């Protein structure tokens, strides 16, 4: 089987859940000796891509900002499998198209031209795909809601995984050195990832403002002007770490009092499982895919309101309850791993290929 990977996601984001997913598939794909794989990509600074030793071809001289919205332009070998990292497809009739659908944040939370351009792009990719991967049952449900005419038999739910770099560390405080040394002897709440409106970052800030015994540690991009305003009241109790590795993030999980994830919507929610694997208790919401991924191994609040999150933290202040949540988290995290994700994806390629090419 000939497999073509469109690595455009590495040019669209420097980090993020989708590029993490894509890099984990590639790591395992290049170890397969029964498949011929060709990678296409453009220049990028993605933190996950830099750790991949792969050769690639350049698809086009077009700017990535334009290319991202176009079908894949290169002529491909007949009966090859094409899988784009971000909603692109091959127009060739003799190519098997696979699309991964991660979430529906644009459909739910964006507006104006970006929303409709994205919806159109996603629709064309889904419509022209022979096989569709959804990263959770909730994402599949959303897919059927927004695109009810899609043939359900084309859809396969394959959960994301979590990296082996996330694990429990004995004597975890000993790892708080160099840039993390400022966190020694500090009790902190950890917030990781994007801070778009639906992520409710303001809740994390409000919790830290209210609970003055806690510091707030944020992993992600630099604060914008609007965020700096709401951070005024805790400017002496907040730390930001940008562009850190998985191993470094694991240290932060291990030493956090809890991981706070007040998101309204997730296609999967990889950081939830990362935290659980590291032995960090999770506080999140009873929304979208989060209950599906977290199970009963996290404290999930029903309403996205400040007092509900504060009450959740108070529960964790009971050491017995905290240990129980951590123990459940270790068990829940075992259900998700990248090897399983890849093997199920690889089998799906073969299944869809056989259905289209051999029938």
Tens of pLDDT, residue by residue over 43-83, are 899 989 998 999 999 998 898 989 999 999 899 999 999 99
C-alpha 133, offset from chain centre: 15
Q: What is the DSSP string of 212-248?
A: TT-EEEEESSPP-HHHHHHTGGGTTSEEEE-S--HHH
The per-residue pLDDT for 100 is 98
Q: Tell me, what DSSP letter sits at residue 355? A: I
CB atoms within 10 A of CB 315: 15
Q: Which CATH number is associated with domain 172-333?
A: 3.40.50.2000
Could you give the CA distance from residue 127 to residue 241 in angstroms, rounded to a whole number?
A: 40
Q: Which CATH number is associated with domain 2-161+338-358?
A: 3.40.50.2000
User: What are the angstrom distances between the C-alpha of 255 and each of 172, 174, 180, 268?
Assistant: 6, 10, 10, 24
Could you give the CA distance from residue 89 to residue 115 in angstroms, rounded to a whole number?
A: 20
The per-residue pLDDT for 72 is 94
pLDDT, averaged per 10 consecutive residues of the chain (359 residues), comes to 96 92 96 92 92 92 90 93 97 96 95 92 96 98 96 97 95 97 97 95 97 97 94 95 93 98 97 98 98 98 96 97 98 97 97 87
CB atoms within 10 A of CB 32: 13
The per-residue pLDDT for 185 is 93
| Cα 93–Cα 98–Cα 104 angle in degrees, nearest 5 | 125
Could you give the CA distance from residue 6 to residue 41 in angstroms, rounded to a whole number?
A: 6
pTM of the model: 0.94
- Select from 251, 198, 245, 195 the least CA-distant residue to 220: 195
The per-residue pLDDT for 253 is 98
Residue ranges of domains in the chain: 2-161+338-358, 172-333
């Amino acid at each position: 089987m000939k497999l073509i990977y469109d690595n455009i996601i590495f040019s669209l984001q420097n980090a993020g859940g989708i590029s993490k997913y894509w890099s984990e598939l590639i790591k395992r794909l290049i170890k397969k000796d029964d498949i011929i794989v060709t990678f296409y990509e453009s220049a990028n600074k993605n933190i996950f891509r830099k750790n991949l030793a792969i050769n690639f071809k350049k698809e086009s001289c077009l700017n990535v900002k334009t290319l991202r919205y176009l079908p894949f332009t290169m002529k491909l070998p007949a009966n090859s499998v094409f899988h784009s990292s971000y909603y692109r497809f091959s127009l060739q009739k003799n190519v098997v198209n696979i699309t991964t659908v991660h979430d529906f944040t644009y459909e739910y939370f964006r507006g104006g031209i970006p929303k409709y351009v994205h919806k159109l792009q996603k629709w064309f990719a889904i419509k022209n795909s022979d096989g569709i991967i959804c990263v959770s049952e909730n994402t599949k449900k959303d897919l059927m809601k927004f695109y009810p005419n899609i043939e359900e038999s084309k859809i396969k739910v394959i959960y994301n995984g979590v990296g082996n770099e996330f694990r429990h560390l004995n004597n975890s405080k000993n790892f708080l050195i160099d840039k993390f040394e400022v966190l020694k002897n500090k009790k902190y709440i950890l917030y990781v990832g994007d801070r778009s409106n639906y992520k409710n970052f303001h809740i994390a800030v409000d919790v830290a403002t209210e609970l003055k015994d806690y510091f707030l540690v944020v992993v992600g991009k630099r604060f914008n002007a609007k965020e700096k305003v709401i951070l005024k009241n805790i400017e002496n109790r907040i730390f930001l770490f940008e562009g850190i590795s998985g191993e470094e993030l694991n240290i932060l999980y291990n030493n956090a009092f809890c991981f706070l994830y007040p998101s309204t919507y997730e296609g999967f929610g990889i950081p939830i499982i990362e935290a659980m694997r590291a032995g960090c208790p999770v506080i999140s919401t009873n929304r979208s895919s989060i209950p599906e991924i977290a199970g009963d191994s996290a404290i999930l609040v029903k309403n996205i309101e400040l007092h509900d999150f504060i009450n959740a933290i108070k529960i964790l202040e009971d050491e017995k309850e905290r240990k129980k949540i951590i123990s459940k988290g270790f068990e829940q995290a075992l259900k998700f791993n990248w090897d399983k994700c890849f093997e199920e994806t690889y089998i799906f390629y073969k299944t869809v290929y056989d259905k289209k090419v051999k029938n």
